Amino acid sequence: MVKSLEILKEFDRCIQGGKAWDLGIEAYAATQELLDGADKDSFQELNERIEDYIAGLDLDGLRLHEIGSMYGGFRRINNFFNSQMIFRFIKDVRGYVFSHRIKGGMAANVGFDRELDYEILLACVPFGMFEPEDLVLVETVGVLEARMDKADILEKLIVANYNIVRGHYHKVKGILDGLETMELTEPEGNLLKSIHMQLKTAMGDGKVFVLHEPYGNNNPYHPLPYERFPKVTTENDKIRINAQMWPDNDEFQMMLLLKVNGGLTQMNGDGFWEIGPFRYEDDVAYEFVVKRGEI
């Protein structure tokens, strides 16, 4: 994880105007300098350096997150350059990745000792070389998430950062809940701060999410606190429905709307509700409603 520590540490320095870890991240920083009124001479110098860099680049010697940092940096800076040379480079890089860095339907560091590592997700967030829903990346994430019990803090935060973009806030909550009392390094703290800022933007003022996974996380030994029991129901089962609001907010109350054969019932509860039993022919559905104030 030394490389990812350096990436995040230097990326944070770039945002603050410090020296970049590599040219791709320097391209990220240069856009901020331009917005802050940097002169065209320094911008032209960077363009010349990019041309020289591209001419001597060997993608085979780079891991996916390193390729992603260049892809994202050059794509961002080309909003100002509008350079056909950089545009072709961006296109060629993505083509190279899908031709040479996909194995078993997954994005991977093909040819390296560790083909699957958490830093691959950095190529998606923040560098944008993959879309969050690209199937090759989703497959990679599935394998990595299955190994989360062995992941270190930074690796878990990288996964949380990715899941914010996908809108999987229940996964983000599960990761952050386990880090509340841990002492973090500077890169870990910076990434955690970024995650909280993204969550604030996503949620807006006074906005909450309802977390509910009917079928849980497929782990019978560590069930989620917002599962349904039983997960697969049969006739005459009594059913317990669990849900959580996130973040916790005393100004809001959550209720369950139960619809049975067209009839609607509003049920208050404290994060859990018991319904049923039902007959086989019953048409049953439920949803959650959050309202401000007492219900």
Band (pLDDT 50/70/90 cuts) for residue 282 is very high
Mean of the pLDDT values across residues 59-74? 83
* Residues of the chain above pLDDT 70, percent: 76
Distance from C-alpha of 208 to C-alpha of 246, rounded to nearest angstrom:
6
Mean of the pLDDT values across residues 197-215? 74
Domain spans of the chain, in order of start: 2-203, 209-292
Band (pLDDT 50/70/90 cuts) for residue 51 is confident
Mean of the pLDDT values across residues 161-187? 82
Tokens 């991240």, located at residue: 25
**pLDDT > 80? residue 248:** no
Distance from C-alpha of 284 to C-alpha of 295, rounded to nearest angstrom:
23
Mean of the pLDDT values across residues 129-153? 91
Contact 30, 43 (CB under 8 A): yes
Rounded to a whole number of angstroms, the CA Rg of the chain reads 23
- What would the DSSP string read from start to end of 29-58? HHHHHHHTT--HHHHHHHHHHHHHHHHT--
Question: Could you give phi then psi for residue 288, rounded to 5 degrees?
Answer: -110, 145
Taking only the tens place, the pLDDT of each residue in 8-41 is 444 444 434 333 334 455 555 544 544 444 445 5
**pLDDT > 50? residue 221:** yes
Q: Which of 49-53, 183-187, 238-242 has the lowest mean pLDDT?
A: 49-53
Contact 193, 186 (CB under 8 A): no
Q: Is 129 exposed, middle or buried (0-12, 13-18, 19+ CB in 10 A)?
A: buried
Task: Please write down the long-range contacts of 26-31, taking CB distance under 8 Å and 24 or more positions apart.
Answer: 26/73, 27/70, 27/73, 27/74, 27/76, 27/77, 28/72, 28/73, 28/76, 28/77, 30/77, 31/76, 31/77, 31/79, 31/80
Beta carbons within 8 Å of 65's beta carbon, 6+ residues apart: 3, 4, 7, 119, 120, 121, 122, 123, 127
pLDDT of residue 5: 43
Torsion of CA 172, 173, 178, 180, to 10 degrees: 110
Mean of the pLDDT values across residues 96-114? 93
Q: Angle 186-203/2-15 helices, nearest 10 degrees?
A: 60
pLDDT of residue 49: 67
Per 3-state DSSP, the chain is made up of helix, strand and coil in percentages (nearest 5) of 50, 15, 35
**Comparison of pLDDT for 205 and 276, the residue scoring more:** 276
Sign of dihedral through CA atoms 257, 258, 263, 267?
negative
Q: How many helices (H) does the chain have, and how many strands (E)?
A: 9, 10
Domain 209-292 class in CATH: mainly beta
End-to-end CA distance of the chain: 49
**Comparison of pLDDT for 188 and 281, the residue scoring more:** 281
Q: Which of 195-204, 221-230, 231-240 has the lowest mean pLDDT?
A: 195-204
Taking only the tens place, the pLDDT of each residue in 178-191 is 776 788 888 788 78
Distance from C-alpha of 252 to C-alpha of 208, rounded to nearest angstrom:
8
Beta carbons within 8 Å of 67's beta carbon, 6+ residues apart: 59, 93, 96, 97, 101, 123, 129
Tokens 């890089």, located at residue: 93
Task: Give the range with max mean pLDDT: 5-9, 78-82, 141-145, 228-232.
Answer: 141-145
